[in-house]
Structure 1
Amino acid sequence: MLTAADIESFEKAIGYTFKDKALITQAFTHSSFVNEQKINKKSDYERLEFLGDAVLEMISSAFLFRKYPQKKEGELSKIRASLVCEPALAFASEKLNIKKYMQLGKGEEATGGRNKESIIADMMEAVIGALFLDGGIEESKRFIDTYVLTNVESMQMFSDSKSILQEIAQGQNLGAVRYEICGESGPEHDKIFDVRVFVGDKNLGEGSGKTKKAAEQKAAYEALLVLKKKNNVFKEH
């Protein structure tokens, strides 16, 4: 159950206080939670997610339009898609610990809903929708700029991080890329996998996810950030 203290904690994290607390509560409320309520039923996040998705598309499109004046429509669309895809939004949400605030039904909770990228990404968009209604376009834009568009060059690689890492390792003769499971946690129906990625003999990144592939993608992305910081070896991407 989302408490007043939870809402205050989230408001402090994003630097905005909601005038209408019902909006941010709705943004964190899953339909499974609503369906289990016998009385005083509240709205779930889906309408806010619909609105937030549109706001996110508009803000990110305008940002990319200004940032890349020479790029064609197809190129801009591809970059935007990589920035607002489910894995990228779920990854961006980790800074805010969105999972902590979710109101889920018992069944959804039991089947691992708190770690589903689809729900996490939808709730990020619902928060954007809530901010738009409560604080206007400037507040929703500030949130998007801070948590989604912070590093476009890096984030656009997120959706294809494994293949990009493989390409760079081969092109720069950095050694073979291999992934190693270093831990598992949670019940059988809701496992979280921890993975390390090695390039040559160096451990360059770690990631966690509900599937091995998702964990490997996050580990590869962390490795790409390390390589970029050290050598700027993928400035052509």
Structure 2
Amino acid sequence: MLSETTRAFLEPVIGQPLGDETIWLAALTHGSTGEKRNYERLEFLGDRVLGLSVAEWLYQHSGEAEGRLSQRLNALVSRATCASIARAIGLGPHMVLGKQARDDGGADSENILGDVMEALIGACFLVHGFEAAQKMVRRLWATTLEGKTGQRKHPKSALQEWAAGNRRRMPEYKLVDRSGPDHASQFTVEVAIHNVGRAQATANSKQEAETLAAEEFMRKFA
């Protein structure tokens, strides 16, 4: 069962009475403990509840186009953001980890913190329903939602704007190499601006390689 300290920690985080503690204990428990009931299934559920809660907030509070909304959504529900919020509320010490995971720094692992944060959202959904889980997300994510997370321009857009602002030709992207098997292909893309320079990057998809190449170009020449 939960310790008094963890109960005192959880109730204000959830914003509701805990009720049956077994689901909250599962949400805090890492697979390294060997326990059959751990956070994995709850994390799967919480990820979807988080996504819908944030998407609805963005729809209601932003007039941006679908592409920009998707960009912000991806940033706001990312594992890095979930882990940042978990650290902000002091989640780490309340997670139940196996000895090896704890010795390996699991209490401050971005992956584990992010997953447990989502698991708690999933547990709240199961125990109290979507409205309560949505309120939990909006309360914990309030500062992040109102901030600049996910509002950085996409590197390809930023490069295009830089070129236009400096009266240069538009960037030209070219696939210069594709290697590896179909299930693990590597794409190398080159981006060039006439009379400025060129940059290359390699990634698992052509689109990602173009993005990384634009970032590298901006780093070198902008």
Q: Is TM > 0.5 for Structure 1 vs Structure 2? A: yes
Q: Quick one: distance in 2 between partners of 1:51 and 1:159?
A: 28
Structure 1 residue 63: Cα displacement? 0.9
**Among candidates 62, 67, 92, match of residue 61 of structure 2:** 67
Alignment of 1:1-237 (within 5 A): 2-33=2-33, 35=34, 41-69=35-63, 71-156=64-149
Task: Answer yes or no: is the 8 Å Cα contact 1:60–1:149 preserved in 2.
Answer: no
> Any unmatched runs of 5+ in structure 2?
154-222
Structure 1 residue 158: Cα displacement? 9.1
TM value normalised by structure 1: 0.59
Q: Quick one: distance in 2 between partners of 1:123 and 1:68?
A: 29
Q: Quick one: distance in 1 between partners of 2:152 and 2:21?
A: 34
Q: Quick one: distance in 1 between partners of 2:136 and 2:148?
A: 16
Per-residue Cα deviation, 1:47-104 (whole angstroms, up to 9, x for no partner): 00000000011111111111113x2211111001111112211111223211011000
Residues 42, 108 of structure 1: alpha-carbon distance in 2 compared, 3 angstrom cutoff:
same
Task: Answer yes or no: is the 8 Å Cα contact 1:52–1:127 preserved in 2.
Answer: yes
Per-residue Cα deviation, 1:157-187 (whole angstroms, up to 9, x for no partner): 5999xxxxxxxxxxxxxxxxxxxxxxxxxxx
Task: Answer yes or no: is the 8 Å Cα contact 2:72–2:151 preserved in 1.
Answer: no
Residues 119, 22 of structure 1: alpha-carbon distance in 2 compared, 3 angstrom cutoff:
same
Structure 1 residue 155: Cα displacement? 4.7
SS in 2 for 1:58: helix
Structure 1 residue 6: Cα displacement? 1.6
Structure 1 residue 145: Cα displacement? 0.2
Q: Quick one: distance in 2 between partners of 1:93 and 1:47?
A: 19
AA at the equivalent of 1:7: R
Per-residue Cα deviation, 1:15-74 (whole angstroms, up to 9, x for no partner): 3211221111111000001x1xxxxx44000000000000011111111111113x2211
AA at the equivalent of 2:72: I
Residues 105, 116 of structure 1: alpha-carbon distance in 2 compared, 3 angstrom cutoff:
same
Structure 1 residue 13: Cα displacement? 4.5
Taking only aligned residues, the RMSD between alpha carbons, in angstroms, comes to 2.2
AA at the equivalent of 1:48: L
TM value normalised by structure 2: 0.63
AA at the equivalent of 1:103: V
AA at the equivalent of 1:143: M
AA at the equivalent of 1:31: G
Per-residue Cα deviation, 1:203-232 (whole angstroms, up to 9, x for no partner): xxxxxxxxxxxxxxxxxxxxxxxxxxxxxx
The alignment covers a number of residue pairs equal to 153
Q: Quick one: distance in 1 between partners of 2:100 and 2:107?
A: 11
Q: Stretches of 4+ moved more than 4 A in 1?
A: 157-160
> Any unmatched runs of 5+ in structure 1?
36-40, 161-237
Task: Answer yes or no: is the 8 Å Cα contact 2:71–2:151 preserved in 1.
Answer: no
Q: Quick one: distance in 2 between partners of 1:49 and 1:159?
A: 27
AA at the equivalent of 2:50: L
